[in-house]
């Protein structure tokens, strides 16, 4: 993987000052790249407010602008989801769906990620790179799948603070938008 595509938590949260300014009479913006920080994605969706819908899981502010914390959570999710092309043998289940369900379970309530990290005695990899989850995928064992996803996030450098501040609100809104009710 080329160095410019190695997304980390620090790069995701970076806020480049010069890129915030728009040229006068600007009619359009170039789409941000996967490796761009969340602030550029936030700027992009702010520029197109009312013209293009916000991605699922991102709450609008009272003025219709995307909430920065939700954009960070969404971009982290995009980095974590399984790469396209992964298929499970002997199962109709999609790796993307299994991962999303596990992530929603992991962030079903505040403190759930912390509890699993403590129970599994995980130490956060401070230099972790945000990467797509490649498995294992457990079709019949949701609890074990949730633990594996927690290990992956921890290895990618996701601290409890980052998870609670960015991923939890995004996942909560995503569940609300999909009409998923907690048991």
Max alpha carbon distance in the chain (Å)? 56
Decide if pLDDT at 113 tops 70.
yes
Sign, CA torsion 50/52/53/58: negative
CB-count exposure of residue 129 (10 Å: 0-12, 13-18, 19+):
middle
Q: Per-residue pLDDT tens for 53-81?
A: 899 999 999 988 899 999 999 999 999 99
End-to-end CA distance of the chain: 41
Average pLDDT over residues 80-104: 87
pLDDT at residue 183, rounded to an integer: 52
pLDDT at residue 169, rounded to an integer: 94
Q: pLDDT-derived band of residue 29, with 50, 70 and 90 as boundaries? A: confident
Average pLDDT over residues 78-86: 88
pLDDT at residue 19, rounded to an integer: 47
Count other C-beta atoms under 10 Å from residue 172's C-beta: 20
Computed over every residue of the chain, the mean pLDDT equals: 84
Global confidence as pTM? 0.85
- Residue pair 80/102 in contact by the 8 Å Cβ criterion: no
* CA distances (Å), origin 78, targets 7, 21, 55, 132: 11, 26, 11, 8
What whole-number percentage of the chain has pLDDT above 90? 46
pLDDT at residue 46, rounded to an integer: 86
pLDDT at residue 58, rounded to an integer: 94
Q: Per-residue pLDDT tens for 116-175?
A: 999 999 998 888 888 899 988 888 888 999 999 999 999 999 999 999 999 999 999 999
Q: Which residue has the higher pLDDT, 5 or 159?
A: 159
Alpha carbons within 13 angstroms on the beta-carbon side of residue 149 total 28
Block residue for tokens 């009710």:
181
| Per-domain boundaries in the chain | 3-77, 80-177
């Amino acid at each position: 993987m080329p160095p410019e595509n190695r997304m980390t938590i620090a790069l995701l949260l970076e806020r480049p000052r010069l890129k915030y300014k728009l040229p006068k009479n600007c009619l359009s913006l170039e789409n941000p790249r996967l490796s761009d920080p969340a602030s550029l994605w936030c700027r992009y969706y702010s520029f197109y407010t009312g013209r293009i819908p916000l991605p699922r899981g991102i709450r609008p502010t009272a003025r219709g602008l995307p909430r920065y914390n939700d954009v960070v959570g969404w971009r982290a999710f995009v980095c974590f989801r399984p790469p396209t092309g992964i298929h499970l043998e002997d199962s109709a289940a999609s790796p993307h769906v299994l991962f999303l369900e596990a992530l929603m379970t992991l962030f079903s309530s505040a403190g759930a990620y912390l509890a699993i990290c403590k129970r599994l005695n995980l130490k956060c990899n401070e230099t972790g790179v945000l990467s797509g989850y490649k498995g294992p995928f457990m079709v019949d064992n949701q609890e074990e799948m949730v633990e594996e996803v927690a290990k992956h996030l921890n290895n990618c450098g996701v601290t409890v603070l980052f998870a609670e501040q960015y991923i939890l609100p995004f996942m909560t809104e995503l569940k609300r938008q999909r009409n998923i009710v907690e048991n």
